[in-house]
Structure formats: C-alpha cells, structure tokens
A and B are shown apart, each in its own frame.
Chain A
C-alpha cells in the first residue's frame, strides 16, 4: 500500500488546486447551484481540455489518461475541497467505471472515449425510490427485447446526462444497459435536493429501448465492484471538503475577537480544533489507503472502501457541524459559505450508503 504521494502526484495536486481555486470560487459555486442543470458546458469543456480530468482513470486505449485510483482520488479530493459544480462524479466515477467493469471490449471502445474527452456526459442510474444501495434494491425489470420499465431515483445529474447507464433485472439476473438521455419513453425530473451543488433526478422509464452492456445476467459482480470503487472515490472527495471546512473554522477562530482576545486562544476552541484535525486526518488516511488498495486491486478492497466511506461520512459531517458552531451566528446565515459545504457533507453522508451501513459491509467482508 502506498502511504505517501510521489512528487509527480503532489505536483498534479498543486496544479489542480490552483486551477480549481481560480475556476470554482464560492461565487461561481453559488451561481451554478441556482441553475437547474447545476453545471455549464463551457466550464466542463475547459476542465477536460486543460487538464484531461474526465478521463483520468480511463485507460489510454479508450481515450483516457491511463492513471489509477490514487490520481482519481487526488482529483476528487481537490474537487470536494473546491465544491466544484460539474457532472464529474456521475460521468467519470460512476458511469465510466461501470462501463469499464461491465462492458465488452467493443462497448468500451465505443462508449469510453466520449466520456474521457468530456464530450459525452454520462451517469449511472441504479438507486430507486426505495433508497437502497445494493443490488437487492434494484426492482426495475428489463423485458426480453431490452425494454426498461420502472423508476430510478437519486440519479446524479440524471436530468442533464447525454448517456445513461442503467442497472436492471432480466430473467437471467442483474444486468447493465445503456441508453441516450433523450430516449423515447424516458421522462426526467430534477429532484429538489438539499445540496444544490450536486443535482439529482428521478427517471421514469416506460418501455424504454436500451442496449445491453456486457453480459445478460452477469451484472452482479461488476455492480458490486463499481459500488466499491465509487465508495472510495466519494470518501476521497469528502475528505477534501472536510479539510477545507476545518481550515475555514481555524481561520475564523483566529480572526474573531470576543472578551478581548481571539477566540482561537480559548482552550475550548483549541481542543475542538485538535479533535477536528484528528478526525479529518484519520479519514484522509482511510481514504488514501482505500485508493491505494484500489490501484493495486487488493483483495481486501471491499472492506477498505467501506471503512473509508464510513470514516468520511462521520468526519465530514462532524467537521461541518463544528465549523458552523465555531462561526457562531454568522455560520447559520445564507451569506456565509459554510452551509454550502455543510449541505454537501449531509448529502454525501448518505449517498452510496451511510456510515452504519458501510460499517456493516466492512464487518461482513471481514467475516465477523
């Protein structure tokens, strides 16, 4: 397992951080979060043309950059820090990873280059109104001629995606399908989401024609693998946001004066900050360890990914709560930026499974 980043990786992170600080300051986040789409083609194109981010972990043979999960984790951590409004998690993390895991060679050659270049924005529709994150929660049926009926919910960027990867059951078992975002019979409605920096949609399918992705009935293993990889990716994104909040709380405590001194000089503040640092650093260690395990395809990956997501869920939310508390009244206002990250923390806390659920997954993976 890799416990430190190489100097190339550190350099990559520094470039990314500068780029995102420039392109995704809070003013831009606030503007985009008020739009229905939640992101813009121009900004998305620039992100991908300048830095090639949409294809970072996609193999070069399919038009990507050919890096691994450690580099993808760095990208996500920085995006989480900047609260970037873009369909990155939907397209690069969920959809591209699902296609890499489930698709045939020909399908990968057909579908991945568009995602890698950013020209195609894709998403993965797997959750349904029952809100479950495992294959047993999938109720959608695909009839014999690849016609999909049912409802998908909590679909990230589902109302704007060009390409939708769907998980459904056939007579042979779980399978993946693909269809265009404007397929006849598909109706898409943006959900009113608490975290407006990452949009979600409800997708209703009425006999929608779709293409089988990979093997009919062979979807269970690629789906589980995709969920594992997505969980560790989300954990890395979350620790970036948590770190950003922790630093903002520290900066504020150093500035804010009450009772004739900076509130940062009170032990109650110092001890809270020390505890926040511990929680965020432990969550980072878990997220980095899981990314490294994914890069090496470690057999223990399912447990480690769940461990990382559980730590990140708790750490991000706790940090968000403390950050508002340290800011006091101003932290509860709309004008202060803390609530933007607080809402991302709340939404990410449950997305792909909350801490309790992931702890149970970890215990099962370890045969306890």
Chain B
C-alpha cells in the first residue's frame, strides 16, 4: 500500500462519511460507528481504533467531518487527557475498559493532581496510596478539580513511597469516584463562582488492576497527561463552539459540551475582555482622555502583538519547522494582556469600578473581569513557573540548585500550614 497523502486521505474519509453519516443516529451510536471505522482517532494505532496516520494529516479528517456537518469523537474535558494517557501507559485491560467509552463520551473524567500543599511543585503530592491486603487504600486531599462533581473516574497521582526521592515515590491510578471514601465539595473562588472542587479521600479504594504503568512510575505518566493538557489549552475556546443545527444528535452533543463548559463560563472575563475596551471607552467618553488613550493603546498593541506571535507559532508548526521561541510564550503573554485589560477597564469605569452585579457596568461583566483576571496568571502554571520554563527550555539557562531531589521524600521540608 502506498503512503497516505493529503489527497488520498481526504478522498477516503469523504467517501466513508458520505456513505455512513446520517442525522438518524444517536450520539453514542454514531461515535461507535466512527470509532470502528478508524476515522474517529486516525493517528492512533490500528489495534486501538486508529489508522496510524501521521498527525499532520489528522486535520484533513477533521476538516472533512466538519465539512459534511458530522459529529466527531468526544474531545471535551479531561476525558481527552485520560484517553491520551491510557493509550500510552495503560494496560490492555485498561484500554479495553476505558478508551472506547471515553471517545464516545459515555465516561466522564477528572484529574486528581493538585493538592493544597503542592501547586507549582506537583511532584510534592502527599496524598497516600498504601497497598493493604488486596487493594490500594487512598487517603488525602486534592484541589482545583474541574468537573469532579459529575465525573465517573479520576486520574489520580498519589504517593506510594516516602523513602525514595520525590519523583520516584509517585504512582498513577484510575480511581472510581462513585464510592463512599470519596467526597467532592465545591470550592468557592474570589469571583463568587465555584468552578472547581476539593476532593477528600478517606480510605478510598483502588483495585490493583487500576494502577497505571508501574509502582513508582507515576510522574512519567502524569507528564504525559500534562503534555496533552498544555497542548490542548487553546482548545477550551473551540470546545464551546457548537453547532446550532436542529437534530437529535446535535442536541446531544450540545448538552455534552454545555456540561463540560459550565465551569468555564467566566473564562472570557478571566482573559480580560479586550474586545470590550474600545466600545466602552467610546461609550463612556473616556477615549477623549489622553492618559486613558495611551493605556488603551498599550493594551491594544500588546494584544495584537500577542495574537500575531501565536499566528507565527502556528504557521511554523504547519510548515513542520522546529518550534521557535514564539511557541512557548503564549501562556505568559496572555496573563500580561489580561492584567493590562483589567487595568484599562478600571480606568474606563472610574468610580463604577467599585460596584458589582447589576449596579456595575454591563450588568456586572466589568466587575467580573476585575475579580477574575488574577486567576489567569496562576492556573495552568503560574507566571513564575512559565518564566522558569521559558528560561530553561527555550533559552537553555541552568536550573537553580535544588534541595528536594537528592533525598528521601520524608526528609524534604513540607508545608506546615496549607
């Protein structure tokens, strides 16, 4: 067989879609059909629902699915990370049990990584997993867990050995959320929303076959999950774009996306809403103030340059060029833009910036920007961690000397108060 080309893939997937896509399917029924055909995850191995296409040709398949108006496999939320991680590190039993149901959207997932005592230092997790009798017993607490309240399964990073250095004492499990030892509580944020959860484990149980990879290999597995999380960070915006077409299958897809997107409904405000600035400045008359004008202009310059920098990174990627420095700056730049936007919205609003809810400009949207922006420079890797990553991985600067890697984890200083 000859190597697949863009033209051959396009022709083949188009023919298959034209023969098989119809609005009469239920969502899960259609996705099962798509998965069986290999077009659901075309870059995956053939034995696991794929066609082993080069990743560069995946976009062609997506274009054709979109062109005909068909629905793709479930890509939203943590299920995407779970599938990608288990595909690499899972046992055959785990792949059989979870991959298909994650792609159809039947199983929902959450990520149990961050803890009150380990945020930036994720490998400092202290949630314990101890093997007792015939099962793993979990005790501890996770935090910032999106969607835990409607998840079926959790990707759990837990400590199995305190007598080895921190990265070597972690293991990775699939945990059944629906059990008495797991308690999920919403976590209220400074902007009043409760988009995340705290998850408490009291003698929660995991059967031995739900260990992913080997004992002590949890950090390597978690790194795979995090890599996919970072790669998909841009995706949150596109997940929200649903078709408004009539039809049962579209309705089911809309409901799925609405559930996943619910915690993210304030994310546009978190990013600073640069799109509102000019309209607000003109409407309030503050655009006439030369000082305010300069601050607005600085924001627009930064925001435009950030957008073009992202376009440069994408253009280089599409051409298969090695990634330049422009590809690693997005997260840090977007938190700069958000902070500058909050500053400008304050200048434009004047005294109204003291108000919230329906008394505040735009029925509270501006107030929500002002109290949501601080999250952007923390979530998904703080600005400080981003600067470390940029300086070490892009600029090749040396790491700071560490005191936590060369000794048993039990001897590493930890938070007294969390």
Contact = CB atoms under 8 A, between A and B. Distances in A.
A270 B387 contact: yes
A286 B397 contact: no
Contacts of B278: 366, 368
Contacts of B391: 270-271, 273-274
Interface in A182-214: none
B333 A282 contact: yes
Interface stretch (B95-103, B266-274, B300-308): B300-308
A360 B297 contact: yes
B293 A363 contact: yes
A142 interface: no
Contacts of A278: 329, 332-333, 336, 390
Contacts of B332: 274, 278
B309 A285 contact: yes
A3 interface: yes
A285 B314 CA distance: 13
A311 interface: yes
State which size class the interface on A falls in: 35 or more
Interface of A: 1, 3-4, 250, 253-254, 261-262, 264-267, 269-271, 273-275, 277-278, 281-286, 288-289, 307, 310-311, 356, 359-360, 362-363, 366, 368
Nearest to A10: B321
B325 A281 contact: yes
Contact of B316 (A4, A282, A366): A4
Contacts of A277: 325, 329, 390, 394-395
A1 B308 CA distance: 10
Contacts of A310: 297, 301
B403 interface: no
Nearest to A364: B293
Contacts of A254: 397-398
Interface string B266-308: 0000000000001001100001001001101110111011101
B325 A368 contact: no
B14 interface: no
Nearest to A266: B400
Contact of B390 (A269, A274, A307, A363): A274
B398 A282 contact: no
| 10 closest cross-chain pairs (CB), A and B | A270-B391, A359-B297, A282-B305, A274-B387, A285-B308, A4-B315, A3-B315, A274-B390, A265-B398, A271-B387
Nearest to B310: A285
Contacts of B388: 267, 270-271, 274
B312 A3 contact: yes
Nearest to B399: A265
Contact of A253 (B296, B301, B304, B397): B397
